[in-house]
Amino acid sequence: MTSENDSLPGDFVRDIIDGDLSSGRFDNRVHTRFPPEPNGYLHIGHAKAVCLNFGIARDYGGLCNLRFDDTNPSKEEEEYVNAIVEDVRWLGFDWQDRLFFASDYFDRMCEYAVRLIETGNAYVDDLSAGEIREYRGTLTEPGRESPFRNRPVDENLDLFSRMKNGEFHDGARVLRAKIDMSHPNLNMRDPVIYRILHASHHRTGDKWCIYPMYDWAHGLEDSIEGVTHSICTLEFENHRPLYDWFLDALDIYHPRQIEFARLNLSYTVMSKRLLLELVRSGSVSGWDDPRMPTISGMRRRGCSPQSIRTFCNRIGVAKVNSTVSLEFLEHCVREDLNLSSPRFMGVLDPVRLIIDNYPEGESDELDAVNNPEDPSAGSRKVTFSRELFIERDDFMEDPPGKFYRLAPGREVRLRYAYFVTCTGVVKDGSGRITEIHCSYDPATRGGDAPDGRKVKSTLHWVSAPHAIDAEVRLYDKLFSVEDPLAGNPSDLASLVNPDSLKILSSCRLEPACASLGPLDRIQLERIGYFCVDPDSSPSRPVLNRTVGLRDSWAKLRSGQ
């Protein structure tokens, strides 16, 4: 078995597959599927399922289908289908020619329903939804049989075909499987398999006014596609008997359902319904808001597909639900960006620094390393001049003991350039510093003193006349609380972290940044990793901060 180099060996799902391969259960085939419902954009939880299903197909030399589970017309849209296709592709997976839609099987599902009726395994029920619920019983009490349960086959066939032909209004009748109203598993108490719904479907239009229920449809979809292992999340564990019952009752090809624990992540929510609520309430700018745990949001934020795959592989596959810390996701993102992103200098909160002994009108081209982690990335020239910008908080007029950056009388290094010593400051009427004055030592060109003297800090800078203006968007956790769903909040939007987005509009970047394109990922030295937002224009880049440089997860691990 070959694996992508970052995947961990083995998990219980692969153990099951190994067992099936050695027993010859599926003729040595491994065929999985990723089956999103197109009712929203994919999130990082879906990425886990994508990586698992496509990863298994890759590792075993099998196949993985992309299948839209579009059985619920009222919530599904073309926009979501397109976004999901884009996201799975961006994550790096390929379904070749196997892009399927559950709605393509509606005719076959209907034929299967007729077969269930014919074999006495299904009946048309006239009870209302409320009555069905009432008749269902509870965990401690058995259900009651519907008075329509023992309709003759012919009557069921006639009513079902009239349901299909649109003779009845929504909710008037349903088709139910005839299983066992006193079954200890409530899912087995004559589940509904078809409902009447006069609604247009994004693919089948007005052809249908009955739609299959999820439990009925899903196993049929898997069976029709020849899937061997139908991997789903834990909440379907007690639906498995039903999955098996349908396939056995129809006596058709029978895949194996395996359940794993869904991913939960701290400080965010992982449900399309709730994410849609945030989009609709305007709490975020859209599904691809960089604060969202969606794949499109993470892409816009600057996470690479590799880092998301690494994260999904490292968290592994388990049988017990748990919550992964957001810091661990950020750790994986940072680790990948550290290896791959070119470095630039940029100043987020600029203050002018004037080098009084540097000749006016002149400039100097200095060598800067593009990526210390990747020698093949080479170097570039950065322009130095008499007037620079540095970070306002890299200077203190009256520094406390542990502040080693620039202060009056102190010498520091300007990255790739020279040592400078602060000689004074200029303030405006309100006492705010407007200029920091320095002298430089020409002998320290490149950033080292020939006499071996040391400085305690190195600052990043940009040349004032050469720098380009930029907007920088700083992101923080989407929610203020670790578990936004604890206590069932009625208004999720009120828990959104008010500091989750800070816009800085007067940043300055080194001129080389002008050549960056949308979604390029970079490091601004000493500040963090950033991604060029699609809102950018060449004359005014907009950068999204992906993550800062500080790795709080690694710190936690090393016990600091």
Q: Which does 270 bind (CB under 5 to 8 A by kind): ligand ATP, Mg ion, none?
A: ligand ATP
Nearest to 256 by CA among 295, 300, 226: 226
> SS3 sequence, 476-521?
CCCECCCCCCCCCCCCHHHHECCCCEEEEEEEEECHHHHHCCCCCE
CB closer to Mg ion out of 243 and 440? 243
Active-site residue (options: 25, 149, 262, 352): 262
Query: In this complex, which beta carbon is closest to ligand ATP, that of residue 295 or of residue 333?
Result: 295
According to the binding rule CB under 6 A, does residue 232 interact with ligand ATP?
Answer: yes
- Does 279 bind ligand ATP (CB under 6 A)? Our answer is no
49 touches ligand ATP by CB under 6 A = yes
From 272, 309, 334, 508, the catalytic residue: 272
Which one, of 279, 106, 280, 275, lies nearest residue 202 by Cα? 106
Active-site residue flag, 335? no
DSSP secondary structure letter of residue 342: P
Farthest CA pair distance, the chain: 102
46 binds, among Mg ion, ligand ATP, none (CB under 5 to 8 A by kind): ligand ATP
Taking the least distance from each CB to ligand ATP, the nearer of 46 and 256 is 46
Phi and psi, residue 165, nearest 5°: -85, 0
**Residue count at the site for ligand ATP (CB under 6 A)?**
14
Roughly how many angstroms between the first and final C-alpha of the chain, as a whole number? 39
Does 271 contact ligand ATP by CB under 6 A? yes
For Mg ion, give the closer residue by CB, 37 or 535.
Answer: 37
Contact residue for Mg ion among 4, 6, 20, 37 (CB under 5 A): 37
Is 233 a residue that touches Mg ion (CB under 5 A)? no
Whose tokens are 């004559």? That residue is: 190
Nearer to Mg ion, 122 or 227 (CB): 227
The single residue among 183, 262, 445, 477 that binds ligand ATP, judged by CB under 6 A, is: 262
Decide: 296 and 277 in contact? Cβ < 8 Å: no
Query: What does the block give as tokens for 403?
Result: 């502040």
Instruction: Please identify, using beta-carbon distances, which residue of 145 and 237 lies nearer to ligand ATP.
Output: 237
Q: Phi first, then psi: what are they for 32, rounded to 5°? A: -115, 180
Residues 110, 209: Cα–Cα separation, whole Å: 12
Q: Closest approach of Cβ 214 to ligand ATP, in Å?
A: 8
Which residues, in sequence order, are bridge partners of residue 471?
A: 542
Whether the Cβ atoms of residue 176 and residue 122 lie closer than 8 Å to each other = yes
Give how far the C-alpha of residue 542 lies from the chain's centroid of Cα atoms, to the nearest Å.
Answer: 22
Q: Which of 4, 25, 29, 37 is catalytic?
A: 37
- Using the rule CB under 6 A, which residue among 45, 55, 255, 293 binds ligand ATP? 45
3-state secondary structure of 336: helix
Q: Does 255 bind ligand ATP (CB under 6 A)?
A: no
Q: Please report whether residue 36 would count as binding ligand ATP according to CB under 6 A.
A: yes
Give the binding range for Mg ion (CB under 5 A) out of 24-32, 36-44, 106-114, 188-196: 36-44
Provide the b/e sequence for 148-157 (b: ≥16 CB within 10 Å).
beebeeeebe
Does residue 272 belong to the site contacting ligand ATP (CB under 6 A)? yes
Decide if residue 37 touches ligand ATP (CB under 6 A).
yes
For the bound state, the minimum distance from the C-beta of residue 5 to Mg ion, rounded and expressed in Å, comes to: 32
Binding segment for ligand ATP (CB under 6 A), chosen from 40-48, 152-160, 368-376, 384-392, is: 40-48
Question: From CA 127, how far away is CA 107, in angstroms rounded?
Answer: 25
**Residue 229 binds ligand ATP, judged by CB under 6 A:** no
Question: Is 545 one of the annotated active-site residues of the chain?
Answer: no
The SS3 of residue 6 is coil
> What's the residue count for the chain?
560
Residue showing the smallest CB distance to ligand ATP in the complex: 45
Sign of CA dihedral 375, 379, 384, 390: negative
Residue 272 a catalytic site member: yes
Which residues contact Mg ion (rule: CB under 5 A)?
Answer: 37
Active site residues: 37, 262, 272
Which residues contact ligand ATP (rule: CB under 6 A)?
Answer: 35-37, 45-46, 48-49, 232-233, 262-263, 270-272
